[in-house]
Amino acid sequence: PGSASGGGGGRKVFIQDSSSPEEHTMGVWDNLVAQSAAAEIYLLAYGNGAVLAKDVLIRQLARSKEREDEVNRIVAVACIESSSLLESDDAKDISDFIASRFMDWEQTEFPEGFLVSGTRVKLGCVALSVGQMGADETRNAAWSVGRAMPSVFRFYDYAVQHSGAEGPIGVAFAREEALVHHLDPATAVSPAPAEAGAAGDGAAGAAAAAGGGADGKRASSRTKSPGMLSGMLRGLLGRSRGEGSGVGDHDMDRGLTVNDFDLLKVVGKGAFGKVMLVRKKSGSDGGEVYAMKVLKKSMIAAKGQVEHTKAERSILCEIRHPFVVCLQYAFQSEEKLYLITDYYSGGSLFYHLRKSRGFSENRAKFYAAELFLALQHLHDHHIIYRDLKLENVLMDHEGHIALTDFGLSKNQVDDVFESQLTTFCGTAEYIAPELLKGQKYGAAVDWWSFGILIYEMIGFRTPFFDKNRKLMFYGIINNEPTWQPHFSASATGIMKRLLAKSPTRRLGSGAEGANEIRNHKFFADIDFASLLVKTLKPPFKPDVKSLTDAKYVPKTYLNDTAQDSIDKSAKKSTNVDFEAFTYIPSQQGHLD
């Protein structure tokens, strides 16, 4: 990603806006397609490319605030073998558009042209069957593409002819398509699946995996990069693992395995797996308690998140800071990845804010100061965090905080304050206006989210929140926050500067960089040198009785059994070997 051979001699040439598949897609959209005079745009998305098509839709909805018909330039979106599209917190305008103009084609046991039942939950749109390959053929993803294309172009033609029709275009088109295949539209419908995830090659099961932060309350709008090229190549070349390498706990690194730990409790769940409280069985740290983050490779591959996962591991290996979670080990089995970090028994700031119904200004200031030092350290080491929210801030048993979850972070950014990134990602309430406008951005997006977080801690809500996401995004771009009467002048002052709509005018983006924030009068009574070495007493100490105390873990997680279960959704063709994933601190350096 980011370069290609050219100019003779096989020399690598940098390609702007192409450090990842999603960045390339959004760069092409923002700089070429959206800027063109095209009145009718048709999108074709393979696999998890459908999620990028959805992100394009979200950007066009944001642009519609300024140009009303901007979103209507998208006439139709055809998806092939899409794993998921619809999320539970999607705004109505997003789900309505997906229902009306998106359509999916997938390989099933039913005849070509059959309407596939049970897809509305995971996709939000109509799906048609392309039939099924012969029993003697190796499953080939490219086969689905070739099979679907004639129908896709008929869909495009139908969509433009019926662009003014009411209701979902896909429903009416499915009836027409049944006739093309000499089927009765009334009966060419697959039976409804017996349970979620029963239909569609396991895709629904993958889509049903838990998401969100440590407390599962607000899910990130994570941009997923499509696995189109790798998936098609695997199919075209017929590459798969042998029969002897099925689901199991085979260690690929000949180092640590999950069997080196006692599995105590489930303390969290995420998009790709779960987090367990564990105890190391032996070694110099035998008896130590850690948090084990278990990630399913099949889910990571299906969601196109391989590169993001590698980046998260890389960041955790490199960074050592008092207010960033500390990675102790990393290893993998054939089906899963394991990240072992310190266990933060105090819960998340999200939990404590809801429990307290708002923090005092002094308490909020303490957490903000520690977070500031963490973000400054990341920026100094060429990392833009991109997903700051209360759910991603953990608390230790003393009351100090630590930043966690680097799944959306961008590392190896030469100049973090140069506006050069284009990936649309983050959590809706915290997203900076430049992202919603489709502009390139830099580290100033972290300082915007930092301002939102300070407001939320003191005001007990985010400043632009609205149940209608479209209205919330409009407010982020156009409105000023309501400054509550109990905010001090210095608190209001720093938030106004951090929430400047223009990133170049935002506090932390000037000539002095992050020192603009450190030197603001809001932090005048904070001794940052003492704070860094944790000699300042936290304003709150969690009531933790032991190293394994799970008092601040949501009860829904604790009810689950702590076990390294078999990944039933894993397929031999999707197993991925994450090269050099293993991490042993004594053998590798880090950035202090």
- 49-63 and 92-101 helices, crossing angle to 10°: 120
* Contact criterion met (CB below 8 Å) for 490 and 499: no
CA angle (13 as vertex; 10, 14 as ends), nearest 5: 155
* Alpha-carbon distances of 575 from 145, 293, 301, 313, 572, rounded to whole Å: 22, 18, 8, 18, 6
Binding-site residue numbers are 293
* Contact criterion met (CB below 8 Å) for 65 and 21: no
Helix and strand counts by DSSP (H, E) for the chain: 19, 13
Binding-site residue numbers for ATP are 293
DSSP label at 192? P
- Cβ neighbours for 545, distance < 8 A, ≥ 6 positions apart: 551
- C-beta contacts of 502-511 below 8 A and 24+ residues apart: 503/419, 503/432, 503/434, 503/441, 503/442, 503/444, 503/445, 503/448, 504/444, 506/444, 506/447, 506/448, 507/447, 507/451, 508/443, 508/444, 508/447, 508/450, 509/417, 509/443, 509/444, 509/447
Segments making up each domain of the chain, as ranges: 17-199, 349-532
pTM: 0.60
Residue type, 354: R
Fold of 349-532: Transferase(Phosphotransferase); domain 1 (1.10.510)
76 — phi, psi (to 5°)? -160, 150
Residue type, 356: S
* Alpha-carbon distances of 12 from 295, 410, 422, rounded to whole Å: 33, 22, 22
Which residues belong to the active site? 387
Following CA atoms 356, 360, 365, 366 in sequence, which dihedral angle do they give, to the nearest 10 degrees?
-60
State residue 137's pLDDT score.
53
Rounded Cα distance between 103 and 154, Å, is: 12
State residue 1's pLDDT score.
44
* Contact criterion met (CB below 8 Å) for 44 and 152: yes
* Alpha-carbon distances of 473 from 59, 62, 99, 274, 535, rounded to whole Å: 10, 7, 21, 31, 40
Cα 235 to chain centroid distance, Å, stands at 26
Rounded Cα distance between 263 and 424, Å, is: 36
Cβ neighbours around 11 below 10 Å, total: 10
* Contact criterion met (CB below 8 Å) for 574 and 301: yes
Three-state SS letters, 50-103 = HHHHHHHHHHHHHHCCCCCCHHHHEEEEEEECCCCCCCCCCCHHHHHHHHHHEE
108 — phi, psi (to 5°)? -140, 175
- Looking up tokens 């990134």, which residue turns up? 421
Rounded Cα distance between 394 and 343, Å, is: 9
CA angle (351 as vertex; 346, 354 as ends), nearest 5: 140
Residue type, 592: D
* Alpha-carbon distances of 66 from 69, 171, 174, 472, 549, rounded to whole Å: 9, 31, 34, 15, 51
Rounded Cα distance between 188 and 117, Å, is: 10
Following CA atoms 469, 472, 476, 482 in sequence, which dihedral angle do they give, to the nearest 10 degrees?
-160
* Alpha-carbon distances of 495 from 106, 453, 459, rounded to whole Å: 48, 10, 12
Mean pLDDT by 10 residues, the chain (592 residues): 50 58 79 88 88 86 78 91 74 86 89 81 84 63 85 93 75 90 84 45 28 44 37 33 31 69 88 87 90 89 81 88 93 90 93 92 98 96 94 95 92 87 90 93 96 97 92 94 95 98 94 94 96 95 88 80 68 58 65 52
